[in-house]
Structures are given as structure tokens and as C-alpha cells.
Amino acid sequence: METVSAKNKLTLWLDRETITFGKNFARQNHKSLSQIIYDYLRSLKKKAVQGSEIELTPIVRRMSGIAGSKKLDVKEYYRHLEKKHLHG
């Protein structure tokens, strides 16, 4: 396993179920969630460099929640955030 020399903060917006799954998965595998994500991204990079097609594993499909093909409506997202955080 590689060690990370320079660390930068990254904020991810995920639904609660995916976060819970990710934390439990990481705990069961004796890793941090950051390390799980790091390992996955490194594997994607390796495959991209090799020119192979990227295939998501069943675990990654579950973690990603299969976002779907629906385009993100930015205005709708902001309305959701306002409703969630301002009108509780």
C-alpha cells in the first residue's frame, strides 16, 4: 500500500445511507474511509493509464448509489439546500 505524502481536504456530498455504508465497510476492512476512496481512485487512475475500460465493482456500485443518468439541476439543488438548512 502506498502512503500519501501530501494531504488535502476534500468535501463530498453523499446521502446518509451511502456515508453509513462507507464507514461500516471501511471499519470492517480495517481502513479509514479516506483510504478506501484513495485506493479506489488510484485503481481508476491505473486502469485509465493502461487504457482499459473502467468497470465498477458491485461494492462501488452500492457505494455510489448508482447516480443515474438524470442531469443535475443546479437551481433544484440549491432549493433543496435552502429547504434543508434554512427551513429545517
pLDDT tens, 11-70? 889 899 999 999 999 999 999 999 999 988 888 888 777 765 566 677 776 666 555 555
Write down the pLDDT at residue 56: 67
* The three grid cell numbers given for residue 21, joined into one nine-digit string: 455504508
Are residues 24 and 69 in contact, defined by beta-carbon separation less than 8 angstroms?
no
State the Cα–Cα distance between residues 75 and 12, nearest whole angstrom: 19
pLDDT tens, 65-88? 555 555 667 777 778 778 878 875
